[in-house]
Amino acid sequence: MTYLKPVHLGVLALALAAFALPLAANAQAVAKPPRIGVLWQTAPPPPVHPFMTALLQGLKERGWEDGKNVVIESRYAGNDADRLAVFAAELVRLKVDVITTAGDLSTHAAQKATATIPIVTSVGFPVESGFVKSLARPGGNITGVAVLADELSMKRLALLKELLPRLSRVAVLWDPVTHERQPKAAEASARTLGVQVQMLRARTPEELAPAFEAAAKARAEALLVLVSPMFGGNRPAFASLAARHRIPTMYFNKTFAESGGLISYGPSPEEQWTLIAGQIDQILRGARPAKLPFQQPTRFELIINLKTARALGMTIPPALLQRADYVVE
196 pLDDT band, cuts 50/70/90, is: very high
Query: Mutual orientation of helices 104-113 and 81-93 as an angle, nearest 10°?
Result: 40
pLDDT over threshold 80, residue 7: no
Residue 29 — very low, low, confident or very high, per pLDDT cuts 50/70/90?
A: very low
146 in Cβ contact with 123 (< 8 Å): yes
Q: What does DSSP say about strands 142-146 and 98-102: parallel, antiparallel, or unpaired?
A: unpaired
Q: Distances from the Cα of 138 to the Cαs of 105, 120, 135, 148, 291, in angstroms? A: 19, 11, 6, 16, 7
**What's the average model confidence in pLDDT over 77-89?**
96
Arithmetic mean of pLDDT, 135-148 = 95
Burial (CB count <10 Å: 0-12, 13-18, 19+), residue 12 = exposed
- Spell out the residues 6+ positions from residue 117 whose beta carbon is closer than 8 angstroms to its own: 37, 91, 92, 96, 97, 98, 99, 141
How does DSSP assign 84-112, residue by residue? HHHHHHHHHHTT-SEEEEESHHHHHHHHH
Confidence at residue 325, expressed as pLDDT on a 0 to 100 scale: 97
Between CA 61 and CA 51 the distance in angstroms is 15
Task: Work out whether strand 263-267 and strand 300-305 pair parallel, antiparallel, or are unpaired.
Answer: antiparallel
Residues with Cβ within 8 Å of 76's Cβ and at least 6 positions away in sequence, in order, are 40, 41, 42, 43, 44, 45
Statement: residue 232 has pLDDT above 50: yes
Lowest mean pLDDT among 16-30, 84-98, 152-166: 16-30
3-state secondary structure at position 41: coil
What is the per-residue pLDDT across 252-300, written as a single tens digit (0 to 9) for each?
999 999 999 999 999 999 999 999 999 999 999 999 999 999 999 999 9
CA proximity to 273, closest of 56, 61, 35: 56
Q: How far apart are CA 237 and CA 239, in angstroms?
A: 5
Domains by residue range for the chain, with CATH = 32-148+269-291 (3.40.50.2300), 150-267+300-328 (3.40.50.2300)
| Encoded amino acid at 206, one letter | E
Q: Say what the pLDDT of residue 17 is.
A: 52
pTM (predicted TM-score): 0.88
Mean pLDDT value of segment 28-39: 82
For residue 136, pLDDT beyond 80: yes
Q: How high is the pLDDT of residue 1?
A: 44
More confident residue, 127 or 44: 127
Band (pLDDT 50/70/90 cuts) for residue 30 is low
Burial per residue of 163-178, b for 16 or more beta-carbon CB atoms within 10 angstroms, e otherwise: bbeebeebbbbbbebb
**Other residues' Cβ atoms within 10 Å of the Cβ of residue 240:** 16
User: From residue 69, how far is each of 52, 225, 296 by CA, in Å?
Assistant: 18, 39, 28
**Which residues on adjacent β-strands are paired with residue 225?**
173
